[in-house]
Structure 1
């Protein structure tokens, strides 16, 4: 990877590689595009909120780039050109809507869900993103226009805020304030005017500011720190034994329990206790939790313990921490996500090592 990254930073070598790629050299094309694959996939994820869709859109982007090499005139960098293709592929996918499931999983009424604190007008189509796939994404701000650091720009709170934006506003906010492209570059990518970009950015900023909790990320323990491990381990022990009181004791007074894409959301100690008792931990249900990380946050693959068989998959939990407590628990009920995190669908023979 380092060799291709160095090549991408050398204009003379890039031009030489580009000439070979235009002549049909697949290896040259790979060397031209490989330095950007990971960050392009993360870009697609920010745009569409789905890990699998992001990978599909990355492949569509690379195929379109391969086919369109003859039309690439080099006025923009290879990276900017690739982002233009990827962004427009994502916008097309969002307008099409065909990738979205027809029904919301997990709402079969068994058991019926308690009355929610809030019900969103539309399902939130969002999946968690494995931290393992973030390796290789540049941490530093890629341009002077960037406002969000890497950790913040993949957090669940930021992703939830992004998914509330209209597609074009979403693209403008990501391109300008996450990736640091200039207004003129974004206008060219989206085939619009700089004034339209500025207007869309203003509206997107206002909407995102109203969604982001702000303090959670700033007050959260550092990833991998002993403080984070202490909180996460305590949560896992309490959740595994189905101890509602112990789980609730770890929550902030204003903690949220959410289950994308189910639009019902629960806030506060009383609502959390009611939900955990009536649904998650009903009738003494216990769990096995296997630790992982998603969106820069601690997470677990969860398995319900079945007395008559091996623990079976129950989805993914992602924790948002504030200080020494948990300010949000987000459950993703789609068990098809587990293999993306390298987790099994069931635990034959008990807890895996």
Structure 2
């Protein structure tokens, strides 16, 4: 029913059904724009509310899906104007949050014939790409995503933004240049290898085992010399093996008791969730999750997120003393 001509005869319940078909892809779109899972949730809810209130403006000149994308993009631009600096600075994206693979799988299986599903399955959902996007000013950011990821013609993007085609083309060139400044020069370095790669799985296994027993020397052997690490929303981006290890030691990582590690995947990247022992609960409870980028058989980037991300990522709320999982 994406070839609707108008919405005048559509009731609220039917409208909700039509819109919900596109929730996941709109959520991913808003996530790329905003870099935050929670802000993307808010943006999609606001998009549906605006769409219902303005349903009379839908005249069938575009598909219902494209109309929703227009509203979602403007919703994100409004949110960025209210909540965000003009763009990220200094390499830091303090509002960055991970995106669960289980929800990306939902999109791919539900919209397998859609170009957006193909894009999501590739590198543009990985953290290195999402972080680079956050360094673009909002309007060039929107142009880049609409033109390069969704394949919109420049004319349609210009209509959405109220700009000329020349302005859109200029913004796209600036956005592409900005992305090159904030991504490694070699594509394989920022794309990384996925969690399904056998060599990557083995490296992640060794990394998780070394981390669980707090073996700093073993971890150091797996880090590339120019590895980068950050822990949003805590300020600080550390570059280089020695700087990363020094910060971990400053935080008292050497003195931590043993952990339980649970391999998983986030943003189409390998990840490891860690649990620490709570005597009063007689169970292992969530501590943090490492999202890892692997290139050339070495760990090249680590993002650490706190335990408050576990529910969104669908991770167990506790591991029992015998190792069983409780959701």
In structure 2, relative to structure 1, the CA distance for the partners of 1:207 and 1:139 (3 Å cut) is farther
1:208 corresponds to 2:179: yes
Distance 1:173 1:314 in 2: 36
Instruction: Show the counterpart of 1:79.
Output: 65
In structure 2, relative to structure 1, the CA distance for the partners of 1:169 and 1:341 (3 Å cut) is same
In structure 2, relative to structure 1, the CA distance for the partners of 1:22 and 1:154 (3 Å cut) is same
Distance 1:132 1:266 in 2: 29
Instruction: Show the counterpart of 1:120.
Output: 90
Q: Output aligned runs, 1:101-180, within 5 Å.
A: 120=90, 124-134=94-104, 135-137=106-108, 142=115, 150-180=121-151
Distance 1:190 1:248 in 2: 47
Asked if structure 1 preserves the Cα contact closer than 8 Å seen for 2:288 and 2:304, the reply is yes
Q: How far off its partner does 1:290 sit?
A: 1.9
Distance 1:208 1:234 in 2: 32
Distance 1:344 1:298 in 2: 17
Question: Which sits farther off after the overlay, 147-156 or 261-270?
Answer: 147-156
Instruction: Show the counterpart of 2:241.
Output: 269
SS in 1 for 2:261: strand
Instruction: Show the counterpart of 1:259.
Output: 231
Instruction: Show the counterpart of 2:259.
Output: 287
State the TM-score, normalizing by the size of structure 2.
Answer: 0.87
Aligned residues: 315
In structure 2, relative to structure 1, the CA distance for the partners of 1:247 and 1:345 (3 Å cut) is same
Instruction: Show the counterpart of 1:316.
Output: 289
In structure 2, relative to structure 1, the CA distance for the partners of 1:175 and 1:342 (3 Å cut) is same
Out of 242, 263, 271, the position equivalent to 1:299 is: 271
Question: Which sits farther off after the overlay, 148-157 or 78-87?
Answer: 148-157
Distance 2:153 2:114 in 1: 13
Asked if structure 2 preserves the Cα contact closer than 8 Å seen for 1:139 and 1:149, the reply is no
Asked if structure 2 preserves the Cα contact closer than 8 Å seen for 1:121 and 1:263, the reply is no
1:233 corresponds to 2:205: yes
Asked if structure 2 preserves the Cα contact closer than 8 Å seen for 1:124 and 1:163, the reply is no
Q: How far off its partner does 1:209 sit?
A: 0.6
CA RMSD of aligned residues (A): 2.7
Question: Which sits farther off after the overlay, 88-97 or 341-350?
Answer: 341-350
Asked if structure 2 preserves the Cα contact closer than 8 Å seen for 1:255 and 1:269, the reply is yes
Question: Which sits farther off after the overlay, 186-195 or 122-131?
Answer: 122-131
Asked if structure 2 preserves the Cα contact closer than 8 Å seen for 1:124 and 1:260, the reply is yes
Cα deviation digits, residues 92-151 of structure 1 (max 9, x gap): 11111189xxxxxxxxxxxxxxxxxxx9386532101111111224577839xxx96742
State the TM-score, normalizing by the size of structure 1.
Answer: 0.81
Q: Which runs of 5+ in 2 are unaligned?
A: none
In structure 2, relative to structure 1, the CA distance for the partners of 1:159 and 1:140 (3 Å cut) is farther
Instruction: Show the counterpart of 1:325.
Output: 298
SS in 2 for 1:314: strand
Q: How far off its partner does 1:229 sit?
A: 1.5
Asked if structure 2 preserves the Cα contact closer than 8 Å seen for 1:292 and 1:341, the reply is no
Out of 11, 20, 35, the position equivalent to 1:49 is: 35
